[in-house]
Amino acid sequence: MQTHYNPSAKKGRLSLSINQDLLDRLEPYKQQLNFSAQAELLLARMLEELENRTWAERNTEALAQHGVDIAGTGLAGAEFERI
């Protein structure tokens, strides 16, 4: 499952409090970094992880039953396995 978002959507504002030591250490690299773009990537990854976890929790029973079914009948096409 992959999180998709519209990268050309209107930008919103977010206020953050960042550790001052971290900001001081990043200062020399400010011209090399696009903090907004990096934050968007990080938030998109975080969202994907949260959505995947939620999906897995919602489907725990079905996934367990699927495992039981595979254990009982084997994988589809396993009879064609070549050594």
Q: What is the pLDDT of residues 63-76, one digit of tens each?
A: 999 999 999 988 88
Cα torsion 64, 67, 69, 71: sign = negative
Query: How far apart, in Å, are the Cα atoms of 23 and each of 10, 20, 28?
Result: 27, 5, 10
pLDDT at 1 over 60: no
pLDDT value at position 3?
Answer: 60
Give 81's pLDDT tier (boundaries 50, 70, 90).
confident
